[in-house]
Structure 1
Amino acid sequence: MASTTTRTSGYVREKYTPPIIHSFTLPDHSSVRTTEFDGVIGVDLPSLSIHFEHSQRSLRTSPHGIVNDDRAVSSPAVVMKPKEPSELTIADVWISLYAFWIHRSQLEVHPLILADSTSLKNIDEVLTYLTHSGLAFVPPDAQSPHELLIIRASFWQGAGAPTHLHWLRTPIPSPSLSLLNPFPFTQSFTRSEHVLTTHPLRPPKPAPGSVIYSRYIHQVGEHLTLTHIDASNPDHFASYAKWQNSDRVNVGWREKGPDDKHRVFLANRLADKHIMGFIVAWNGELAGYGEMTWAKEDLMGTYVGGLGDYDQGTHLLIGEEKFRGRQRFTAVMTSMKHACFLRDPRTEVVVGEPRADLPIVPMLIAYLPQELNREFELPHKRGVYFALRRERFFQAAMLD
């Protein structure tokens, strides 16, 4: 049966330009103030200020070894320096780069020169942090090791992020337990009515009520959090039940029913190692419910096949009418995918499978840099197979 869903022309990333004086909250809810006058970006931290100032020096920003010299592009560098001579902590540098990439979000790389040791007293320590974390590298045309190219995609992948400032708030395994490695590979197996597959043993989920992900959404001017749903929390349960019982949400989810049905559903979700439900909140106000799944042992993995051991999937409903709309929808969808890519660096693809006849399908094409693979049959619906690839996400997703 062919679908009559209207298609759009595809994804176009929006440009965000912050105001001249701009404040935002970090993942731990502390605040940062930035300014931009005449192209100079200032970042005001509690104990010092950092500036990104103009430089006469240019560095090549076209990929070295790929683009021929006759069409290569070079760009003027900025000099990163404390307003007053001082040392910078890792957190100072990371927060400053966060502010910089919000002001230059359309660029993939940018030349950066570290100020001399008179101004930046621990310049070698900062250089080691930037290059060893992958936030920057010394390009072939650099004239000193302090001339760098910083990389936007590396920043948003969490490179060098201090644990207390990371968007992923409850990583598994905890950095305090396993600093160097992701959760190890151990062969596991799932056998159920619709799934029969080997897959890696999945890590324990964080405790219900744990904040999974936290990020300020500049386009909206509010702070977004994703929290592991806690069915024993009266606010979580009442909101979830209300949303599922609304006629609008029921069109897509088909979970309308009495409280007992909702309690069983959430208990099953909590017990299922491959899926984690979460509450979406804006500035602490509950807005919707979503899920992250390990795709290989999900229905998706059974009926489309070909998914990797660490590929993931997502589902979402926005229950509160006041939190609907294009910008908020894009922010929540993008944040879910971001959380998936961050929680395991081995995840190459995050998939989706909405019902093919839902009006949300064109929005998923227009507002996320994902591929529409095909329509396919599931036991309970005809779905649309979306695939969002890691490289494409960090290149083009609206993370500002």
Structure 2
Amino acid sequence: MSSSVQAQIQVDVPYESPAEASLLSRPEGYGYQVVGDSTTQSLLVKGNQERLEWSLVDDSNHLTLRWPQRSAPPLPALLAAIEGAFACYPATVALRLQLPTVVHANLCAAGIAVKDSHGELWAYAELFWQLPTLWLTSPSMCAYPQQPILENGKRHPRRPPRPSGTVYQRHIPWLNATLSFRVLDLELDLERFNRWMNDPVVAHFWEEQGDLQQHRERLESTLQNPSVVPLIGCIDGEPFGYLETYWAKEDRIGAYYAADDFDRGWHVLIGEAAFRGRPYVAAWMPSISHYLFLDDCRTQRLVIEPRVDNAKMLRNLAQCGYAHVKAFDFPHKRAMLGMQLREHFFNERSWIPLPPHPGSAPRPDPRFTL
């Protein structure tokens, strides 16, 4: 397993040091404040009714999370502790778990942990970040049933109903803030969308300037399209941008490459100038990829088609792991087909900006060192 993180965005604001690291975790809808202390080698997980202290031992070769009691910890608190350990030491590829044996089988069955040939239990970042219950607000317990349908001359799977409200949230350590995506609300977001579309920076690439009525009609049409989910990106609840996600097979891009049934794509505009800096790009760009991969476990590829002259966007996409596959001509623009693979995103841990800690290097995969 590769542990390279060289394709990721470099940000000006690094992670906090392990001695100061903290995280807001929300496994299964529970809220936990997780605080790691490298001096005492401990991890404190605090919930509404819980205050659980773990050992988090860094021996330079491996990071070990140890539960000190004989009884099993609550599963949500365990998930929060694992997320917190990875946040405290973001270069960690695999976390050794020392837990009561009674929980081992269930953790392995759920993909939370894996046993090695020596019988030791490990949580892999690559697997852990594919667990939807930590970041999706209403995760589905299984994939939406598959039924092929013919619609507008295109054969594709029937899509699930559009969600509502907040669909994804993630604490961003280098911003010390929560990033979230919520489904666009026409009445709540129309004026904001209109202002954003008429911003000269946005208008240069989107070319959709107009009045409120034009944008109302535009959003009404979008909301009537079952293959599109329009989202508003927020930092600590403050809206900063619009992200339009879609199923690629039904979209115009599907005619320009061999689209699979569960490929997803997205468009974006950052409407608030204060949120256009690199630390914010390093937060929202990997997070929209993360959300779309979590939303359906069958999605193996993400695509995007920015204009070929949008050099800044193309650079950011490349730094977030999107390959520039080819340039091609839409009727209205010359575009670049960008593509992100599920395997690449999770294997390379693309949610982590480069470097995770000054001077740190990814820890070795224990499968090759034990």
Structure-1-length-normalised TM-score: 0.79
Residues 88-135 of structure 1 show CA distances to partners (whole Å, capped at 9, x for unaligned) of 111111000010111222232233333xxxxxxxx2342123211112
Compared CA separation, residues 398 and 253, structure 1 to 2 (3 A): same
> Which consecutive unaligned segments of at least 5 residues does structure 1 have?
1-9, 59-74, 115-122
Q: Which moved more, 1:361-370 or 1:148-157?
A: 361-370
Task: From 87, 91, 95, give the equivalent of 1:106.
Answer: 91
* Counterpart in the other structure of 1:43: 44
In 1: Cα distance, 2:321 partner to 2:285 partner: 11
CA contact (8 A) 1:372 1:386 kept: yes
- Give the Å deviation of 1:13: 5.5
Structure 2 counterpart of 1:392, one-letter code:
H
* Counterpart in the other structure of 2:364: none
* Counterpart in the other structure of 2:126: 153
Residue 199 (structure 2) pairs with residue 222 (structure 1)? no
Residue 126 (structure 2) pairs with residue 136 (structure 1)? no
Residue 337 (structure 2) pairs with residue 388 (structure 1)? no
Q: How does 1:1-400 map to 2 (within 5 A)?
A: 11-12=7-8, 14=10, 17-19=15-17, 20-27=19-26, 30-38=31-39, 40-46=41-47, 47-54=50-57, 75-76=61-62, 78-82=64-68, 86-114=71-99, 123-140=100-117, 142=118, 145=119, 147-158=120-131, 161=133, 166-171=134-139, 175=140, 179=141, 181-191=142-152, 196-207=153-164, 210-233=165-188, 236-302=189-255, 304-396=256-348, 397-399=350-352
- Give the Å deviation of 1:34: 1.1
- Give the Å deviation of 1:221: 1.2
In 1: Cα distance, 2:254 partner to 2:283 partner: 26
> Which consecutive unaligned segments of at least 5 residues does structure 2 have?
1-5, 354-370
CA contact (8 A) 1:77 1:113 kept: no
In 2: Cα distance, 1:22 partner to 1:55 partner: 14
Structure 2 counterpart of 1:26, one-letter code:
S
In 1: Cα distance, 2:171 partner to 2:65 partner: 26
CA contact (8 A) 1:109 1:152 kept: yes
Structure 2 counterpart of 1:103, one-letter code:
C
Residues 122-172 of structure 1 show CA distances to partners (whole Å, capped at 9, x for unaligned) of x234212321111221111x1xx4x2122101111016x3xxxx311134x
In 2: Cα distance, 1:278 partner to 1:108 partner: 31
- Give the Å deviation of 1:77: 5.7
- Give the Å deviation of 1:324: 1.0
In 2: Cα distance, 1:102 partner to 1:229 partner: 30
CA RMSD in angstroms, aligned pairs only? 2.3
CA contact (8 A) 1:249 1:319 kept: yes
In 1: Cα distance, 2:105 partner to 2:16 partner: 30
In 2: Cα distance, 1:271 partner to 1:30 partner: 34
In 1: Cα distance, 2:98 partner to 2:30 partner: 30
Residues 164-183 of structure 1 show CA distances to partners (whole Å, capped at 9, x for unaligned) of xx311134xxx4xxx4x311
CA contact (8 A) 1:330 1:367 kept: no
SS in 1 for 2:347: helix
- Give the Å deviation of 1:54: 3.7
Q: Which is greater in Rg? A: 1
- Give the Å deviation of 1:394: 1.0
Structure 1 residue runs of 4 or more that deviate by more than 6 Å after TM superposition: none
Percent of residue pairs identical: 26
SS in 2 for 1:388: strand
Q: Between Structure 1 and Structure 2, how many residues are aligned?
A: 340
Structure 2 counterpart of 1:200, one-letter code:
P
Structure 2 counterpart of 1:388, one-letter code:
Q
In 2: Cα distance, 1:41 partner to 1:364 partner: 36
In 2: Cα distance, 1:190 partner to 1:128 partner: 44
Structure-2-length-normalised TM-score: 0.85
Compared CA separation, residues 335 and 185, structure 1 to 2 (3 A): same
SS in 1 for 2:79: helix
